[in-house]
Structure 1
Amino acid sequence: MAVLAAVLVAGAILTWPKHTTSTDRLKQLLLRTSVVEPTEPWPVAQEDHPHSRSRQLLIGGAVGLMSQIVIGGTAGVVVGALLAIAASTIVMRREPPAVRRRRDKTTADLPFAVDLMVACLRAGQPIGSALDAAAHGVAGPLGERLAWVGGQIRLGAAPQAAWATLAGERSLAPLSRTMTRAVLSGAPVAEALVRLADDARQEARATASAAARRVGVQVVAPLGLCFLPAFVLLGIVPVVAGLMSQIVLP
């Protein structure tokens, strides 16, 4: 009964909805409207960090409590403490699936967004209009970032400062560096973006190939676990039983 109660408590903790403060709601509103002060960093929404510190401690505590209840005694306390620390560390280091999906989608959409920007610039449009067209064309997380940068520039922020705020995101760092160099050096932006689009396509293909290889490995592992008991029962157990019968029986 105690084990069942601990399991139910752990399940409730894992599925408990995240608490959002007024600051978090304001950040989410800023993401939708792009109304922020010039040169401020990209506002990170609450969804970008779903595993807060308190959530990590709750999950670790639930794992430790379950271990202590199951094992009991001093050994249960020691094992529970170790498992609690391990669970908190794993939860802290694990990348949330939503963040990984957003990054993969941004990487896949980047070549198309850059192509749209190049087409607009070669047609004589200013960079702000090119950003708006690309943001509306690709939408999604990349569209939000591009719309935000365009909003920063319209509010009077220095273009290099607005682009530099995206350098912290791995999928957008090449675009940030390319635009920052073009702004500072005065080089033609369209030509730099053409080269960036080619590089982005190669990276997107490499990312897709790596994902396909991971799927193959993930499919093989469950199949191996399914066939392993049959292999043990049909291949190993009869041999061991035959040897034991020869050794034990006179």
Structure 2
Amino acid sequence: MSRQVVAAGLLAAAALLVLMAGGQVGRPGRRLSLLARPSGVARTRPSWWPDRFRLASGAAGVAAAVVVGGWGGLFAGVLTGLLADRLLRRVEPRAVRDRRLREAVELPLAADLLAAALRAGAPVDRSVLAVAEALGGPLADRLGRVGRTLELGGTAAEAWAHLDRVPGGERLLAAAIRSSDSGAALAGALTRLADDLRSGRATAAEAAARRGGVLIVLPLGLCFLPAFILAGLVPVIVAVLGDVL
């Protein structure tokens, strides 16, 4: 069996492991138990996540060593394995990415509901728990932990820290701590936060749409430019050079 065949098999195994690691993990009950952990996104990764990436990085390193061969292959294999491990560890699992995006989408609605509950006269902890029960989804898990921490007598910083990993949650955390320290009304800050988040999301969507229009034109430019050079400039340059020479 040639080196190329061995390397191709190892690379295929590495790619398969990466695909398995990037997909949905575990059974639904297992995913719900992972999402219920209080430490945020870092704990939502399954326990075998780094091990899969070590195997994939090792397979890539062995493939590089087999292809190059000799002492240079050993050096190339070690370097490739280290680089692959470093890069693959930065890949975000799809379950974590979907959860983060859904939390970002639900945060403005949660802020509006919480502001309405506070304006109705409900205390903060009861308002947060009511919003968590009405909202559902991954953000409701975090809000439930916030409400339970407040009920148990935790400080605002300790309770609202459960939202610090949610995109935009750091602003809600700052507003809650400021309200707790100064006694300022939290409902108005939540309403402004919801409006700002919706406005920022609309701006980001518009910018993405404009960027998509530019990216669509790039393939046309890459195809047109070589044709223009070959059909328009090259004959002129050849004719000029023929007259000069």
Alignment TM-score, normalising by the size of structure 1: 0.70
Report the CA distance between 1:120 and its aligned residue: 1.4
- What's the Cα RMSD here? 3.8
**SS of alignment partner, residue 89 of structure 2:** helix
Report the CA distance between 1:88 and its aligned residue: 1.6
Q: Judging changes above 3 Å, is the alpha-carbon distance between structure 1 residues 109 and 218 closer, same or farther for their aligned structure 2 residues?
A: farther
Instruction: List alignment gaps of at least 5 residues for structure 2.
Output: none
Paired position in structure 2 for 1:88: 85
Paired position in structure 2 for 1:38: none
User: What one-letter code is carried by the residue in structure 2 that aligns with 1:54?
Assistant: D
Query: For 1:140 and 1:112, how far apart are their aligned partners in 2?
Result: 12
Q: Does 1:204 align with 2:207?
A: no
C-alpha contact 2:103 2:167 (8 A) present in aligned 1: no
Paired position in structure 1 for 2:18: 14
Q: Does 1:190 align with 2:187?
A: yes
Report the CA distance between 1:8 and its aligned residue: 4.2
Could you list the per-position Cα deviations for residues 59-86 of structure 1 after superposition, in whole angstroms to 9, with x for gaps in the alignment? 2211111122233333333333332222
User: What one-letter code is carried by the residue in structure 2 that aligns with 1:87?
Assistant: A
Query: For 2:57 and 2:106, how far apart are their aligned partners in 1?
Result: 37
Report the CA distance between 1:162 and its aligned residue: 0.7
Greater RCO (CA < 8 Å, at least 6 residues apart): 1
Query: For 1:206 and 1:147, how far apart are their aligned partners in 2?
Result: 30
Report the CA distance between 1:163 and its aligned residue: 1.3
Query: For 2:21 and 2:146, how far apart are their aligned partners in 1?
Result: 31
Report the CA distance between 1:116 and its aligned residue: 0.8
Q: Does 1:150 align with 2:147?
A: yes
Q: Does 1:79 align with 2:83?
A: no
Q: Does 1:129 align with 2:126?
A: yes
Report the CA distance between 1:160 and its aligned residue: 3.5
C-alpha contact 1:160 1:184 (8 A) present in aligned 2: no
Q: How does 1:4-43 map to 2 (within 5 A)?
A: 4-15=8-19, 29=33, 31-32=35-36, 42-43=39-40
Q: Judging changes above 3 Å, is the alpha-carbon distance between structure 1 residues 122 and 152 closer, same or farther for their aligned structure 2 residues?
A: same
Paired position in structure 1 for 2:103: 106
C-alpha contact 1:28 1:45 (8 A) present in aligned 2: no
Q: How does 1:53-68 map to 2 (within 5 A)?
A: 53-68=50-65
